[in-house]
Amino acid sequence: MTYKPKSEFLHEMQTRGFLSDCTDLEGLDEALLNGVVPAYIGFDATADSLHVGSLIQIMMLRWLQKTGHKPITLMGGGTTKIGDPSGKDESRQLLTAEKINENIAGIRKVFDKYLTFGEGPTDAVQPNNAEWLDNLNYIDFLRDYGRHFTINRMLTFDSVKLRLEREQPLTFLEFNYMLLQAYDYMELNKRFGCLLQMGGSDQWGNIVNGIDLTRRINRQTVFGLTTPLLTKSDGSKMGKSASGAIWLNEDKLSAYEFWQFWRNTSDADTGKFLKLFTELPVAECERLGALEGAEINAAKIILANEVTTLAHGAEAAKAAEATAREVFEKGGVGDDLPTVTLAASDLSDAGISVVQLFVKAGLVKSGKEAKRLIAEGGAKLDDVAVKDAGTMVSGEAIAATIKLSAGKKRHALVKIEG
Partner RNA sequence: GGGGGGGUGGCAGAGUGGUCAAAUGCAACGGACUGUAACUCCGUCCGGGAAACCGUACACUGGUUCGAAUCCAGUCCCCCCCA
Site for RNA in 141-170 (CB under 7 A): 167-169
| Strand locations in 288-391 (E) | 339-342, 352-353, 379-381, 384-385
Rule CB under 7 A: say whether 404 interacts with RNA.
Answer: no
Using rule CB under 7 A, residue 175 touches RNA: no
| Minimum distance, C-beta of residue 241 to RNA, in the bound complex (Å) | 7
Residue 291 C-beta: closest distance to RNA, Å: 9
CA separation for the pair 64, 391 (Å, rounded)? 56
Least spacing, CB of residue 324 vs RNA, in Å: 3
Q: Which of 2, 94, 76 is nearest to 40 (CA)?
A: 76
Q: Is 331 in the site for RNA (CB under 7 A)?
A: no
Smaller CB separation from RNA, 29 or 321: 321
Using CB under 7 A, count the residues that bind RNA. Answer: 45
Binding flag, residue 70, RNA (CB under 7 A): no
Q: What does the DSSP 8-state code read for residue 344?
A: G
Please report whether residue 118 would count as binding RNA according to CB under 7 A: no
Regarding 296 and contact with RNA (CB under 7 A), the answer is yes
| Contact window for RNA (CB under 7 A) among 11-19, 107-115, 280-288, 373-381 | 373-381
Cβ atoms 130, 82 nearer than 8 A: no
Contact call for residue 283 and RNA (CB under 7 A) = no
- CB nearer to RNA: pick between 374 and 414: 374
Residue 381 and residue 5: Cα distance in Å, rounded?
56
Phi, psi of 117 (to 5 degrees): -95, 155
Min. distance of Cβ 163 from RNA in angstroms? 10
Establish if 367 lies at the interface with RNA (CB under 7 A). Answer: yes
Burial degree of 254 (CB within 10 A; 0-12, 13-18, 19+): buried
Q: How far is the CB of 138 from RNA (least distance, A)?
A: 23
**Which of the ranges 110-118, 215-223, 265-273, 278-286 carries the binding residues for RNA, by CB under 7 A?**
265-273
Rule CB under 7 A: say whether 390 interacts with RNA.
yes
226 bridge partner residues? 21, 199
Toward RNA, which CB reaches closer, 117 or 328?
A: 328
Q: By CB under 7 A, is residue 236 in contact with RNA?
A: yes
81 part of the interface to RNA, by CB under 7 A: no
Q: Is the CB of 7 or the CB of 265 nearer to RNA?
A: 265
Q: Return d(Cα 160, Cα 85) in angstroms, integer.
A: 7
Closest residue by Cα to residue 116 from 67, 74, 62, 75: 62
Contacts for 359 with CB less than 8 Å, ≥ 6 apart: 365, 366, 367, 370
Q: What is the 3-state secondary structure (H, E, C) of 60-95?
A: HHHHHHHCCCEEEEEECCCHHHCCCCCCCCCCCCCC
Binding residues for RNA, rule: CB under 7 A, are 167-169, 234, 236, 241-243, 260, 263-267, 292-294, 296-297, 300, 324-325, 327-328, 355, 359, 365-369, 371-373, 376-378, 388-390, 406-410
